[in-house]
Structure 1
Amino acid sequence: MKNNVSIKTIADKLQISMSTVSRALHGNTRIGLKTREKVNELAKELHYVPNPGNVYLQGKQTYEIGIIVPALKEEFFVKIIDVLENELRPLGYHLHIFQSQENEDCQIRALDYFKKMRVDGILCSLASNTKRYDKFLEVEEFGIPIVFFDRTPRGISSFSVKSNTEGGALKVMEFLKNKGINKVALINGPANLDTSGDRLNGYLMGVEKFRMESSPSLIKSVALTPESVLEVVKEFVSAKCLPEAVFTFNDYIALYLMKAMKNLGLEPNKDMLIASYGNLPFISHLENPPIVSVEQFPERLGLSALEMLLKRIDSEEPMKPHFKMIDTELVIYPRG
C-alpha cells in the first residue's frame, strides 16, 4: 500500500505548523531541539518519506540556496563560500555553486538552472560583462529572492551588500601621500563594474583632497588578465611616464603587474611602488608583496548577504530593497 503520510499528517498530530515540521525535518537549528526530536521521532514512527515533487508543486521550501560567483580561482570568493557552507549546514540548507567565469550568458544559464530547481534564494556577485538585469527581475517575480554581494547592480533597486570600496581607495591614496608620493596610477577593473567605479571615485577623491598629480594617461581599465596588465605597463614605459606608485584593482592584478614589470626589466616596489586591494592570504607569502592592501573582510561580507537573504526567505511580507556597507581597513606590509 502507498504511504500517504505527509508533512500535514505530522503537523496535525503534533499540533504545530507545517513550516515548523518542514524546518525540523531539515535539521534547521532555528527550531528548538525538543520540537525537532518530536518531529523526527513521529516521522520515523509513521514511516514518513519526503516527496520532492510535492515540494515544487506546493511552492514549499526546498532548503536549497544558489550562489553565483565570477570564478572560484579567486580566493576572495572561496573564503565567502567556506563561511556560507559552515553557516548553512546546521540550518539544514544545501549550497549550490555556479561560476559565471565573468560571462553574462553563463550567469543567465545559472539563473535559469536555479529557477528550475526552485531554490529558496540566490546570492550573486555579478560577472564583469553584465549589462542586463531582466533575468534577475524575472527570477524575483517568479518568487525567488536574490541578494547581491561585492559586485552589485547599477541603476536598479536591489538587496545588496558590498565593501566600502570607495573609502578603502581613499585610505590608500592618503597612505601614499603620507609617504611623499604624488604621482599615482590606477589599474582598475572593467568600467561597467560598480566596484571599479567605486575604486575610481576613491582614487579621484584622494587626488583632489591630497593635491596629487593625475591625468587620463594614469587611469587604466583592464580585462583582469595578465596580458591586459602587461599592455598597460608597456604604455607607461613607452610614454616615459612611469608613476611613482600604482594602485591595482585587486591582489591578482598586483601580481600580474609584478610579473609584467620584471618582464620589462623593472623592479617592483623600487621603480614603481605597488598598492593593492583585497589583502588575500597569498600576498603575505610573496618575497616582495605590495606595500599596502585593503582588507575587505570577505567573511563578514558573505555572512551579511546570507543574513539578508534568510530574512527575505523567512518573511511572509514583501520587504523593501536594502543596502548594507561593510567597512574596510588598510594592511601595511613592512619592507625587509
Structure 2
Amino acid sequence: MDKKLPTIKEIARRLNVSVSTVSRALSDHPRIGLRTKTRVQELAKELNYEPNAQAIFFKQKKTFVIGVILPSIREEFFSEAISGIESAATEHNYTILFGQSYDDPEKEKNVVEAMKKQRVDGLIISLSKQTNKYDHLTALEKYNIPIVYFDRVPPFEKVNKVYCNLYKGTIDMVGWLISRGYKRIALINGPDKLAASKERLNGYIEGLSKRKLKVDMQMVEKTNLSREGTYAAMRSLLALKHPPVAIITFNDYVHMDAVQYAQQQGIQVNKDIIFVSYANLPITNYTAFPPLVSIEQYPYGQGERAMEIMIKLLHDKTENNLIDTTYVEEMPATLVMHGNARV
C-alpha cells in the first residue's frame, strides 16, 4: 500500500490546476473563485492532506514557538504562571518551548542560547534570583527576537514586562499592620539583586515613614530564599533587644520556613508574633499557620498577559517588519486576608 502523505502537487494534478492555485485555495486567498476553492478544500480533506509545517515556517519566517524560561516549575507560583502562558499561547495557535534556570545565571544563559538556536519567535522569562547582567538577553535584539519579562523583571524602563506593584502593596501591608497596633515590624527580604527585593524594601521604608515611625534597619534581614537563609534571618531578629511583633516575609515559602523556626523557639505564631507575606499561594491554605495577610500577585494572570503582549509584539513585527513598541503592564498587588484577619 502507498503510505506516502498527500502533497499539494498531487491535489493540483488530480484537479488539473496549478500548484499555486491549490496553495492559495488552501489558505483561503480572495483571488481564488469559490468553486475552485471548494473543490481543492474538499479533495484535501478527502486525502487527509496536512500542510507542510516547515514550508509554512520558512515562508512566514516564523516557527510559532515561544520560548519560556522560569526559575523553577516546582514553585507553585511559576507552575500557575506557565498555565496562564500556555493557555494564551494555545488560543493564538502557538506552542511553547520550556526551560528552567534553577536560579542559576549560567544555566539561564545556556537555556537562552539553546532557544535562540531553536529559532523561537520570542522569549518570555522570569529572571533567576542571581541575574544581574543581561548581555545574554539583550543580544537577542540583533536576531529580532522579542522578549517579555514577568514577575522577576530587570530594572530597566524600556523593556516589555508584566509585574505587580509590590512597592505600593508593601506600603498598604505596613499600613494595615500599623492600623492594628503593630509597630515593631520586621522585613525578611530577598536577595539584593532582585528588583522585587528593592520594591519591598522601598515600600517598607515608605510605609513606616508615612505613619511617622522611625525606620530601624536592624529590623531588616535578608534571605537567599533557602531554609537556612531564612532561619539565619529569624535568628537575628529574635536576638534583638526589642524583637519584632510582626514580620513581613519575602514570599509564602519564606513565610513557612520562618514560622517553622519560630515554633521551634517556642513562639506562639500569630500571637507573640504575627506573620504576613507575598504571593497568596493556595498551598498556604493547607498549613497550620497561613500568613494573616498575603499580597496576591496573580501568577496565572501575569503569565497570560505576558503571552498576550508577546502576540502583539509578533503581530507588530509581521506588519511592520520591526518591533518599535514597548509594553509595560503593571498589575495591582492586592491584600488578601486569612484566618481571623480583617480589613
Higher gyration radius (CA): 2
SS in 2 for 1:242: coil
Structure 2: distance between partners of 1:248 and 1:156: 27
Query: What amino acid is aligned across from residue 327 of structure 2 in structure 1?
Result: H
Deviation at 1:156, TM superposition (A): 5.9
Structure 2: distance between partners of 1:48 and 1:169: 53
The partner residue of 1:322 within 301, 310, 327 is 327
Structure 1: distance between partners of 2:141 and 2:299: 25
Identity of aligned residues (%): 30
Q: Deviations over 1:136-173 (max 9, x none)?
A: 11112212111000111114621111001111111100
Is the CA contact (8 Å cut-off) linking 1:184 and 1:213 kept in structure 2?
A: no
Q: Note closer, same or farther for the CA distance 1:96–1:42 as it changes in structure 2 (3 Å cut).
A: farther
Match of 1:143? 144
Structure 2: distance between partners of 1:68 and 1:2: 36
Structure 2: distance between partners of 1:122 and 1:43: 35
Query: What amino acid is aligned across from residue 248 of structure 1 in structure 2?
Result: T
Is the CA contact (8 Å cut-off) linking 1:275 and 1:292 kept in structure 2?
A: yes
Match of 1:107? 108
SS in 2 for 1:305: helix
Matched residue count? 318
Deviation at 1:319, TM superposition (A): 2.3
Q: Note closer, same or farther for the CA distance 1:72–1:38 as it changes in structure 2 (3 Å cut).
A: farther
Q: Deviations over 1:189-242 (max 9, x none)?
A: 111111111111111110100123431211112100110011111112333331
1:229-268 → structure 2 map (5 Å cutoff): 229-268=230-269
The partner residue of 1:50 within 42, 49, 52 is 52
SS in 1 for 2:275: strand
Q: Note closer, same or farther for the CA distance 1:280–1:15 as it changes in structure 2 (3 Å cut).
A: closer
Deviation at 1:301, TM superposition (A): 1.4
Q: Which runs of 5+ in 1 are unaligned?
A: 18-36
Match of 2:96? 95
TM-score when scaled to structure 2?
0.84
Q: Note closer, same or farther for the CA distance 1:335–1:138 as it changes in structure 2 (3 Å cut).
A: same
TM-score when scaled to structure 1?
0.86
1:76-95 → structure 2 map (5 Å cutoff): 76-95=77-96
Is the CA contact (8 Å cut-off) linking 1:278 and 1:295 kept in structure 2?
A: yes
Query: What amino acid is aligned across from residue 319 of structure 1 in structure 2?
Result: D
Is the CA contact (8 Å cut-off) linking 1:149 and 1:160 kept in structure 2?
A: yes
Match of 2:12? none
Q: Note closer, same or farther for the CA distance 1:38–1:165 as it changes in structure 2 (3 Å cut).
A: farther
Query: What amino acid is aligned across from residue 328 of structure 1 in structure 2?
Result: A
SS in 2 for 1:270: coil
SS in 1 for 2:325: coil
Match of 2:180? 179
Query: What amino acid is aligned across from residue 50 of structure 1 in structure 2?
Result: N
Is the CA contact (8 Å cut-off) linking 1:243 and 1:272 kept in structure 2?
A: yes
The RMSD of aligned alpha carbons is 2.8
Q: Note closer, same or farther for the CA distance 1:132–1:156 as it changes in structure 2 (3 Å cut).
A: farther
Structure 2: distance between partners of 1:208 and 1:42: 74
Deviation at 1:278, TM superposition (A): 0.7
Query: What amino acid is aligned across from residue 326 of structure 2 in structure 1?
Result: P
Deviation at 1:132, TM superposition (A): 1.2
SS in 1 for 2:235: helix
Q: Deviations over 1:106-149 (max 9, x none)?
A: 11111111111111111100000001111111112212111000
1:180-195 → structure 2 map (5 Å cutoff): 180-195=181-196
